[in-house]
Structure 1
C-alpha cells in the first residue's frame, strides 16, 4: 500500500508540475494571457505541497526520485497534449530514469 500511495503521489506531482509549466508556457509563449499563467502558477504551487505527503521522510531522496518521474511524465505529456512523437532514445532514457526511481525509492533498506 505504501508503494502504491507513493506512486500515486508522484503521478499527482507530475501532473501538477508539468501541467503548471505547460499552462505558463501557453500563457506566455502562445499569447493565451495572464489567466493561463496564473493557473500555471497555482498548479506549480500545488506541486510543491504534494511531495510533503510522500511516506519517505528524506526530502533529497524524494526530489531525486521525482526527477525521473518528471522526465518520463514530460515525454508522456508531450505525446498526449502536444502530439510529440518520442524516438527510441527518448523512450530508453525515460526507462532508465524510471529504473532509477525504483532503485532510489523502493529498494530495501536497513532501518
Structure 2
C-alpha cells in the first residue's frame, strides 16, 4: 500500500513539474512558473527513492504505469479532455505490466 501511495504522489509531483515548463514554453506563462516546477520535479525524484524495491530500474519501470494513469487523469481534470476507451485500455495494460514487474517472483540466484 505504501508503494502505491508513493507512486501516486510521485506522479502528481512529476506532472505538476512538467506542466510548469509546458505553461511557460507553450502557454506563454512567466518563466517564474519554472521555479515551483523544479521543486516539484525534485520532490518527484525523492519520492521514487522511497519505494521498496531491490533495484531502481524496476521501481522506475513499474512507476511508468502509474504515471500513464495519472497523466490521463490530468488530461480529464485539467485539460477537460475525457480519455477514450483506447486510453483506458492502454492504461489497464500498463497497470497489469507494473503489477508483474513489482510482484513477480524473484529468483535468489542472479
Fold conserved between structures, TM > 0.5: yes
The root-mean-square deviation of aligned C-alpha atoms, in Å, is 1.3
Q: TM-score, normalised by structure 1?
A: 0.90
Greater fraction helix: 1
CA offset at residue 28 of structure 1?
Answer: 1.8
Partner of 2:87: 90
Partner of 2:5: 8
Number of aligned positions between the proteins: 108
CA offset at residue 110 of structure 1?
Answer: 5.1
Q: TM-score, normalised by structure 2?
A: 0.90
Moved over 6 A (4+): none
Q: Measure the CA separation in 2 of the matches of 1:49 and 1:19.
A: 15
2:40 paired residue among 37, 43, 56: 43
CA offset at residue 26 of structure 1?
Answer: 0.8
Is 1:53–2:50 an aligned residue pair?
A: yes
